[in-house]
Amino acid sequence: MNLNELQMRSMMATEDKTQVSLRVPAAMLADFERIATALDRDRTWVMLRAFRVYLDGEGGHLLDEMKGIE
């Protein structure tokens, strides 16, 4: 099991969760569904992974820059 898998398991098991609602293009949702099916995961797992990848990359860099400004 690699580090990303461990991070995802930890994230999915976290009790501190908040439900959100968002609108996404139908084609994007279909892509998430296809990926989830291919990985034998649920759509939430795939979407959380996408959020994590963003926060570990571009979003994380922005957050780091904002910390430096404060």
Q: Is the dihedral of CA 47, 15, 18, 7 positive or negative?
A: negative
Give the C-alpha separation, 30 to 24, whole Å.
Answer: 10
The answer to whether residue 67 scores a pLDDT higher than 80 is yes
Contact predicate 43/36, CB 8 Å: yes
- No. of H helices and E strands in the chain? 4, 0
Q: What is the pTM of this model?
A: 0.71
pLDDT tens profile 2-57? 556 666 666 666 678 889 999 999 999 999 999 999 999 999 999 999 999 999 99
